[in-house]
Amino acid sequence: MKPLALILALPLALAACATTTSPTGRTQMVGAVSQEQLNQLGAQAFAEMKTKTKQSTDARQIAYVRCVVGAIVRELPANGQATGWESAVFVDADPNAFALPGGKVGVYTGIFTVAKNQDQLAAVIAHEIGHVVSRHHDERITRQAGASGALQVLGAVLGSRYGDGAANAAVQGGGILAQTGFLLPGSREQESEADVVGQQLMAKAGFDPRAAVNLWQNMMAAGGSRPPQWLSTHPDPQSRIGELQNRAAGLVPTYEQARAAGRKPGCG
């Protein structure tokens, strides 16, 4: 779809926004863009990230992340598995990770300083994939479209793909990543929901859900008196750890069933 056609179609897209229910039963407003357009945005944001940030050449790190992503993705519904997931490891000391619509997962090398084993890494990656499963990017774009106008959001993103003039608009607006908000933290509500969905996914994949507690404890310790920036918009850390502990206890049977069924990831 060319930019002009997209612009003309946007009022209809906004009119088509719908109320749906998230995996935890929360009411969401989504649909400002189609799933195809959402996947395009994810792919474009990921491509931009890869041009701006150095990628790791450590074969072990790359295989490690790919293994964990693959194990979690196998627990998604059929349409989620069919996306064709891609992962990349970026050289950055920030203990961070992200997942985007269209099946894109990025992990920063700094995460390996706090994720001490495959179960803890799975807690991070499953949390990020939980954002995608829960349609949080769709929800955020729909909110942004309603608040500031969808032309600014999608015109900048897809314009940068189709022409210099539109690309300039994207630059003026802060670039693809800023425009879509894809790599910005979600709301606390979304972060809590991604915790729930992610912990369920990791248990189903054969990763110990109790490791999510250890991971967040490590994250807090790494930040000293000041938590890492990645946690700044997340739920209160101590409350979050308590919720993760309570949920983990209920998910241990799911984890044990997964292991008994042969889902025993040997990622590293």
- Spell out the residues 6+ positions from residue 181 whose beta carbon is closer than 8 angstroms to its own: 140, 141, 144
266 in a domain, yes or no? no
Q: Would you state the pLDDT for residue 118?
A: 98
Catalytic residue of the set 128, 191, 193, 243: 128
**Residue 75 belongs to domain spanning:** 3-260
268 in a domain, yes or no? no
C-beta atoms surrounding 223 within 10 Å: 17
The b/e string for 238-263 (b: 16+ C-beta within 10 A; e otherwise) is eebbebbeebbeebeebbeebeeeeb
Q: What single DSSP character describes residue 27?
A: E
Specify the DSSP element, H or E, that contains 88: strand 86-90
- Written as tens digits, the pLDDT of the chain (268 aa) is 444 444 434 444 554 567 788 887 887 877 777 888 888 888 988 998 899 999 999 999 999 999 999 999 999 988 888 788 999 999 999 998 999 999 999 999 999 999 999 999 999 999 999 999 988 888 887 777 655 544 454 444 444 333 344 334 333 444 444 444 555 556 778 888 999 999 999 999 999 999 999 998 998 888 654 444 444 555 567 788 899 999 999 999 999 999 999 999 999 8
Identify any residues that bridge with 19 across adjacent strands, giving them in sequence order. 29
Q: Would you state the pLDDT for residue 174?
A: 40
Q: Would you state the pLDDT for residue 172?
A: 43
CA–CA distances in Å: residue 197 to residues 24, 37, 73: 8, 24, 13
86 is an active site residue: no
Instruction: To the nearest 10°, report the CA torsion of 13, 41, 23, 26.
Output: -50
267 in a domain, yes or no? no
Q: Would you state the pLDDT for residue 232?
A: 52
Q: Would you state the pLDDT for residue 37?
A: 85
Q: How many domains does the chain have?
A: 1
Nearest Cα to 95, choosing from 230, 253, 186?
230
175 in a domain, yes or no? yes
Helices (H), ranges, the chain: 3-15, 35-52, 59-73, 78-81, 118-133, 136-148, 150, 156-162, 164-172, 175-180, 188-204, 211-223, 237-260
